[in-house]
Amino acid sequence: MFKWILAVGGYFLLGKNFLGAILGFIIGNVIDNYQNVIGAAKAQAQKEGRSFSTDDLFQYYQQRSSQNDIPTMLMALSAAIMKADGKVLKAELDYVKLFLNNQFGPNYASTHLKTLKHFIDSDEIPLQQICLDIKMRTLPEVRVQLIHYLFGIAKADGSVSNTEINVLNQIASMMGVPAIEFESVKNMFYRDVNSDYAV
Same domain? 86 vs 140? yes
Residue 27: its pLDDT value, please? Answer: 60
Query: What value does the mean pLDDT take over residues 87-116?
Result: 83
pLDDT at 124 exceeding the cut of 90: no
Same domain? 117 vs 58? no
Q: What is the dihedral of CA 117, 123, 126, 130, to 10 degrees?
A: 10
Same domain? 26 vs 60? yes
pLDDT at 134 exceeding the cut of 70: yes
Which of these, 152, 136, 141, 151, lies nearest to 26 by C-alpha position?
141
Same domain? 41 vs 105? no
Query: What value does the mean pLDDT take over residues 53-70?
Result: 52
pLDDT at 186 exceeding the cut of 60: yes
What span, in angstroms and rounded, lies between the C-alpha atoms of 99 and 28?
18
Residue 182: its pLDDT value, please? Answer: 92
- The domain tally of the chain equals 2
Domain of 42, in residue numbers: 2-65
Residue 76: its pLDDT value, please? Answer: 87
Q: Which of 32, 50, 65 is the last residue of a domain?
A: 65
Which residue has better confidence, 124 or 49? Answer: 124
Same domain? 116 vs 103? yes
Any alpha helices (H) in the chain, and if so which ranges?
2-13, 18-47, 54-65, 70-82, 90-104, 106-121, 127-137, 140-155, 162-174, 179-189, 195-198
**In the structure, what pLDDT confidence band is assigned to residue 64 with cuts at 50, 70 and 90?**
very low
Q: Which of 10, 44, 65 is the last residue of a domain?
A: 65
Same domain? 82 vs 24? no
pLDDT at 123 exceeding the cut of 50: yes
Task: State what percent of residues in the chain have pLDDT above 90.
Answer: 21
Same domain? 8 vs 89? no
Q: Which of 65, 99, 117 is the last residue of a domain?
A: 65
What span, in angstroms and rounded, lies between the C-alpha atoms of 199 and 185?
7
175: domain CATH number is: 1.10.3680.10
Same domain? 101 vs 52? no
Same domain? 50 vs 80? no
- The distance from CA 112 to its chain's CA centroid, rounded to whole angstroms, is 13
Per-residue pLDDT reduced to its tens digit, 139-163: 888 899 899 999 999 998 888 888 9
**In the structure, what pLDDT confidence band is assigned to residue 65 with cuts at 50, 70 and 90?**
very low
Considering the chain, what is the average pLDDT of its residues?
Answer: 75
Same domain? 114 vs 49? no
Same domain? 177 vs 81? yes
Same domain? 90 vs 179? yes
What span, in angstroms and rounded, lies between the C-alpha atoms of 110 and 143?
24
Q: Which pTM was predicted? A: 0.63
